[in-house]
Amino acid sequence: MALCLLRKLPQLAARQHPGCLLPAMFCSTSSAGNDPDIVLSRRGCAGVIELNRPKALNALSLPMVRAMHPRLLDWEADPEVAVVLIKPAPGSGKAFCAGGDIRAIADDCVSARSAETGAGSGRAGGSLSRDFFREEYALNHAIGTYKKPYVAFIDGITMGGGVGLSVHGDYRVATERTVFAMPETNIGFFPDVGGGFFLPRLHAQIGVYLALTGHRLSGEDVKKCGIASHFVNSEQLAELEERLCGGEWLTKEDSFGTVSRLSELLQQFEACSSLDMRVPFSLNRHMADIERHFRHDTMPQVVASLSSDPSSWAAAQLETLRKMSPTSLRVTLRQLRLGMHLNLAGVLKMEYRISQRFMTNHDFVEGVRAALVERRQPVWRPASVEEVSDEAVDEYFAPLPPDRELQLDTKRV
């Protein structure tokens, strides 16, 4: 019997998706180099999105978001588009998408603080940090409420913003090259892009564990824990793409039949893969420990629970957590506890508030500089989870001024 650690990520209601074979229509964003950062095209009955920033591990930029979102809406309304496929461009390296372009955002925060104070110590983020997260989260919401099948080939590194481009869609296809993580607490941030929605809905406390520690999952584990819906060997993706775009799975039956046949096609490829569901999920042997220690509602409780455990595993988790931003840890744990009771739109609105507060604190810029620029251990302020007050955490969740709150299309459900 297949192992499934996902409680249940709500699936979109199936709808009819007529399709036809048409010549591809090419569109791309502008790029500083000769190649576009994102390629948008029609192939048969599919709208295809290719991420093409290999030197940046396909990191998601604001121009990429702005190219992708309107095209998704166009395809959704186009009766000749039956399915959307997002994938790394051929030859784009070892990543699906390694996250958002956080270095550009951190630089924007520094510039804004310098402009406001004249000394670089201000408390305001710049326009990029507002626009990027607002438009990225709106894109995540569009994916999560998309009315046609949305298939992501998460072939390679899939972290942060790359998770937001994939996990909210109907079908997430992992390969032996997939590496999944939400490592944001390590850079003084938090697992956004709807992390507050899907992570607490994973089995038991596995999502909390992944969010706080940044633990990486690879290959078959991404399927076995429920983040990926299917597993296909990477050398099979080209054929799978051809058959998706060719529309052999389309049917004149009702929408349930259409989606069922797409699921059957993906399952056929998975059945021919190297996936062995008899091999346990790699964290299975620690699931009882994860449940026992990460079920608490505050970080001091989590730390105390791990500290009372004499095992080497618990000691390793404590060592990992001590490297993370204490503020990020405390905010993240509350985010996940609240997110369990919100829909995707509610989570994204909450996360936008949190994101804007992180743009004004010390740890985000410090974490990005330490990890990506200076290659050193960050100096967090405050330095321990015990020093982060409940009142300080409250501020991250407080409403923004009405004109700065995240606005989502309420007609999308």
Contact 42, 48 (CB under 8 A): yes
Question: At 182, is the secondary structure helix, strand, or coil?
Answer: coil
Q: Residue 125 has what pLDDT?
A: 62
Q: Residue 122 has what pLDDT?
A: 38
Q: pTM for the whole thing?
A: 0.90
**For residue 101, with 0-12 CB atoms within 10 Å meaning exposed, 13-18 middle and 19 or more buried, which class applies?**
buried
Q: Residue 257 has what pLDDT?
A: 57
Q: Residue 405 has what pLDDT?
A: 98
**Cβ neighbour number for residue 291 with a 10 Å cutoff:** 15
**Domain of residue 303, CATH code:** 3.90.226.10
Percentage of the residues of the chain whose pLDDT score is greater than 70:
88
Q: What number is the average pLDDT over the span 111-139?
A: 76
- As a whole number of angstroms, the distance between CA 260 and CA 277 comes to 22
Q: How many domains does the chain have?
A: 1
**Cβ neighbour number for residue 310 with a 10 Å cutoff:** 7
Q: What number is the average pLDDT over the span 135-139?
A: 98
- Helix, strand, coil % over all residues of the chain, rounded to 5: 45, 10, 40
Q: Which two tokens stand for residue 38?
A: 């994102």
- Domain of 165 in residue numbering reads as 38-397
**31 within some domain:** no
Which range among 26-40, 218-232, 251-265 shows the weakest confidence by mean pLDDT?
26-40
Q: What number is the average pLDDT over the span 306-317?
A: 98
Q: Residue 17 has what pLDDT?
A: 33
Contact 366, 380 (CB under 8 A): yes
Q: What number is the average pLDDT over the span 143-158?
A: 98
Q: What angle do CA 364, 367, 369 make, to 5 degrees?
A: 105
For 345-355, the pLDDT digits (tens) are: 999 999 999 99
Residue with tokens 């955002």: 105
Element (H, E) at 223: helix 220-224
Q: What number is the average pLDDT over the span 397-412?
A: 93
CB-based contacts of 345, cutoff 8 Å, min separation 6: 141, 408, 410
pLDDT of 10 above 80: no
- As a whole number of angstroms, the distance between CA 199 and CA 6 comes to 9
**192 within some domain:** yes
Which range among 18-22, 31-35, 213-217, 272-276 shows the weakest confidence by mean pLDDT?
18-22
Q: Tell me the pLDDT band of 31, cut-offs 50, 70 and 90.
A: very low
Q: Tell me the pLDDT band of 19, cut-offs 50, 70 and 90.
A: very low
For 370-386, the pLDDT digits (tens) are: 999 999 999 999 999 99
- As a whole number of angstroms, the distance between CA 358 and CA 362 comes to 8
DSSP E strand stretches across 170-237:
171-174, 179-181, 217-218, 230-231
**220 within some domain:** yes
**25 within some domain:** no
**6 within some domain:** no
Which range among 9-18, 199-208, 300-309, 352-361 shows the weakest confidence by mean pLDDT?
9-18
Q: What number is the average pLDDT over the span 387-400?
A: 98
Q: Residue 253 has what pLDDT?
A: 60
**50 within some domain:** yes
Half-sphere exposure of 255 (CA within 13 A, CB side): 11
Active site residues: 100, 161, 184, 192
- As a whole number of angstroms, the distance between CA 92 and CA 162 comes to 14
- As a whole number of angstroms, the distance between CA 407 and CA 413 comes to 14
Angle, in degrees to the nearest 10, between helices 237-246 and 255-271: 160
- As a whole number of angstroms, the distance between CA 372 and CA 100 comes to 13
What does DSSP assign to residue 40? Answer: E
pLDDT, the chain, mean: 90
- As a whole number of angstroms, the distance between CA 369 and CA 236 comes to 39
- As a whole number of angstroms, the distance between CA 111 and CA 126 comes to 7
**309 within some domain:** yes
Instruction: Please give the backbone phi and psi of residue 392, each rounded to the nearest 5 degrees, phi first.
Output: -65, -40
**250 within some domain:** yes
**Cβ neighbour number for residue 389 with a 10 Å cutoff:** 11
Q: Residue 33 has what pLDDT?
A: 55
Q: Which two tokens stand for residue 318?
A: 């404590």
For 234-290, the pLDDT digits (tens) are: 999 999 999 999 999 997 664 545 677 999 999 999 999 999 999 999 999 999 999
Q: Residue 5 has what pLDDT?
A: 35
Distance of CA 92 to the CA centre of its chain: 19
**Cβ neighbour number for residue 190 with a 10 Å cutoff:** 29
Provide DSSP, 281-336.
PTTGGGHHHHHHHH--SSHHHHHHHHHT--SHHHHHHHHHHTTS-HHHHHHHHHHH
- As a whole number of angstroms, the distance between CA 320 and CA 300 comes to 15
Contact 86, 49 (CB under 8 A): yes
Q: What number is the average pLDDT over the span 108-113?
A: 85
Q: Residue 175 has what pLDDT?
A: 98
Q: Residue 116 has what pLDDT?
A: 66
Report the relative pairing of strands 157-159 and 179-181 from DSSP bridges: parallel
pLDDT of 123 above 50: no
Q: What number is the average pLDDT over the span 292-320?
A: 98
For 316-326, the pLDDT digits (tens) are: 999 999 999 99
Q: Residue 64 has what pLDDT?
A: 98
Q: What number is the average pLDDT over the span 74-91?
A: 96
Q: Which two tokens stand for residue 4?
A: 């499934």
Q: Tell me the pLDDT band of 92, cut-offs 50, 70 and 90.
A: confident
Strand order in the sheet with 38-43: 26-28, 38-43, 46-51, 83-88, 150-154, 171-174, 230-231
